[in-house]
Structure 1
Amino acid sequence: MKSKLFDYIDRDNLIFNLSGLTKLVCFIGLTFAVMFSYDIRYILFVMVLSVIFFAMSGLQFKQIKLMAIYVVVFLAINFVLTYIFSPQYGTEIYGTTHELFRFNSRYTVTEEQLLYQVTKVAKYASVVPLGMIFLLTTNPSEFAASINRVGCNYKAAYALSLTLRYFPDTIRNYQDIALAQQSRGLDLSRKEKLGTRVKNVMNICVPLIFSTLDRIELISNAMDLRGFGKKKNRTWYVAKPLKTVDWCAMAAALAIFLGSLAMTFFVNGGSRFYNPFI
């Protein structure tokens, strides 16, 4: 079965009908809110919202299954390495020590360290659904038209549009080349040794690179023949005007970001960390 990672499939629902500019502003606003704060309460609040938005978008888990596996592996490695290299950082941040158990004098497990590391994991886990929503529910051409309207050069906007479009094309090309090579006897299964499998994958990457270069040249020639870049401005076939729901969504994203600042400077007394140990 071919992967649907980064594939845009149009649907008729609230999330898909938002402007590409709106989704970009919301993604940046919510991401900044999560990255700025270390208050586990606020981060969990944004995480719940991101899960709700993902459900509202109608996206299927199989579309992000591969990415989810990579994220889980990354979070697990990050969790372990954080403890290995900074086992006492939580106690330094919160200024107290509530020991649970110890391995030796350096490696002790404290409530403060667990809170700090769980907060870090929650920060990353909150942003991933937002990123997937943005990538999988935004028409690349419509998104390019939206950011061009707010002042971004249309050449840069179009380059970004081509990049977003090319992700699924590259994945499909890789799968097609892999199937063609396997029909010629190239074994990519676990029956082969790891070194042999890596070598076989490289045999797929080489034609993929050449096919990609050919496609780039083809697109570049087509754009030149159509006079792309000759004028300072251009029109967009799929430009979508901002509606009331778009302004409401951007206002909500701004409110959530300001809420993160308020939690820091008013609720937590200027500290980015929520300290339940005092």
Structure 2
Amino acid sequence: MSKSSSLYVDGDSFFHRMDGAVKLVLLLVWTAVTFLFLDLRIFVVLLVAGISMLLVARIPIKRMKFLFWMLTLFTLMNSIFILLITPRFGSTLTGSNTPLIPLGYDTINVETLFYVLTLSLKYLTLCPITLLFIFTTHPSRFAASLNKLGVPYKMAYAVSIAFRYIPDLSQEFRHILNAMQMRGLGISRGDGNLKQRMRNLSLVVVPLLQSSLQHIESVSDAMDLRGFGTKPKRTWYMGTRAMRSDKIVVLLCVLLLTVGIVLKLQVVQGFWYPL
């Protein structure tokens, strides 16, 4: 498979060999456990575990760099908005108020700053496991695994196509943007003020949509010519069998979810604030 046709990074690590459906279960359980809590201590443990799994997968940093910075930027913007819009929200969770940074119209307190730190770490906790799922899951194997779990093969194949098309869409965007820059419609700092650059960027949308619709039509025609959807079942060229290690991972996921629910109900029931 070419690099332009998928985000998948070829490898032979434990996570590359893992069944795609099992990795989906791991991702869903990890997400569920993360959103059960608002506790910095738990997020630190989960983040360290997630980074450790990402290191085991041995994915090149340059392949993950773009998505990592996108997730980090989203987290940073979300934190800034919370601090500016609700600078004393942390007081409603802790019952205390320790002024820290005056804003003129209000004051950011220590409680809100700690709440924003906890929330940011909560989102960052999902980053390693998400990157792990995206870059170690082959689209065709993942679709076959979903079909084994009972998902209709038409839906499973749609998921596979979506995985494959994301890099193509990104590459098409860059081609259109380069063509526009050659015509003097750039989006960098030297190409005008912010309003002009945003207007130039909006001009990319129409040709990108047209190109996307052409790709969709080509794929649809190719699938119709091959009789896709005429049979109630289909076989998979890259189908895999669940191994013993996959079953162990599923059991560990069930254990993780159980421990998370027990902790939520009996130990950690709200926002943890150390002061």
**TM-score, normalised via structure 1 length:** 0.87
Q: Does 1:128 align with 2:147?
A: no
Q: Give distance in 2, aligned partners of 1:140 and 1:105.
A: 51
What residue is the counterpart of 2:154 in the other structure?
155
Correspondence 1:1-278 to 2 at 5 A: 7-95=7-95, 97=96, 99=98, 101=100, 103=102, 106-110=106-110, 112-182=111-181, 187-193=186-192, 194-268=194-268, 271-277=269-275
Specify whether residues 250 and 186 from structure 1 end up closer, same or farther in structure 2 by C-alpha distance, changes over 3 A only. same
More deviation in 241-250 or 26-35?
A: 241-250
Q: Give distance in 1, aligned partners of 2:198 and 2:71.
A: 22
| Identical columns (%) | 30
**1:176 aligns to what SS in structure 2?**
helix
Equivalent position amino acid for 2:219 in 1: I
**1:191 aligns to what SS in structure 2?**
helix
**2:100 aligns to what SS in structure 1?**
strand
Q: Tell me if structure 2 keeps the 8 A contact 1:37–1:264.
A: yes
More deviation in 167-176 or 195-204?
A: 195-204
Specify whether residues 225 and 27 from structure 1 end up closer, same or farther in structure 2 by C-alpha distance, changes over 3 A only. same
Q: Tell me if structure 1 keeps the 8 A contact 2:21–2:145.
A: yes
**2:190 aligns to what SS in structure 1?**
coil
Q: Give distance in 2, aligned partners of 1:9 and 1:90.
A: 41
Q: Tell me if structure 1 keeps the 8 A contact 2:38–2:118.
A: yes
Specify whether residues 211 and 221 from structure 1 end up closer, same or farther in structure 2 by C-alpha distance, changes over 3 A only. same
Structure 1 unaligned blocks of 5 or more: none
Deviation at 1:18, TM superposition (A): 0.6
Structure 1 residues 121-157: Cα deviation after superposition (integer angstroms, max 9, x where no partner): 1110000221111111111111111111111111111
Deviation at 1:93, TM superposition (A): 1.8
**2:92 aligns to what SS in structure 1?**
helix
Deviation at 1:230, TM superposition (A): 1.0
Q: Give distance in 1, aligned partners of 2:80 and 2:263.
A: 29
Deviation at 1:228, TM superposition (A): 0.9
Q: Tell me if structure 1 keeps the 8 A contact 2:147–2:156.
A: yes
Structure 1 residues 10-48: Cα deviation after superposition (integer angstroms, max 9, x where no partner): 111111111100110000001110011112211111111
**1:67 aligns to what SS in structure 2?**
helix
Structure 1 residues 82-126: Cα deviation after superposition (integer angstroms, max 9, x where no partner): 22333333222233x26253637952513x333322111111000
Structure 1 residues 145-180: Cα deviation after superposition (integer angstroms, max 9, x where no partner): 111111111111111110111001111222233344
Deviation at 1:74, TM superposition (A): 2.0
Deviation at 1:276, TM superposition (A): 3.4
Q: Tell me if structure 1 keeps the 8 A contact 2:6–2:165.
A: no
Equivalent position amino acid for 1:154 in 2: Y
More deviation in 122-131 or 257-266?
A: 257-266
Q: Tell me if structure 2 keeps the 8 A contact 1:8–1:138.
A: yes
**2:131 aligns to what SS in structure 1?**
helix
Equivalent position amino acid for 1:127 in 2: L
Specify whether residues 267 and 198 from structure 1 end up closer, same or farther in structure 2 by C-alpha distance, changes over 3 A only. closer
Equivalent position amino acid for 1:45 in 2: V
Specify whether residues 234 and 93 from structure 1 end up closer, same or farther in structure 2 by C-alpha distance, changes over 3 A only. same
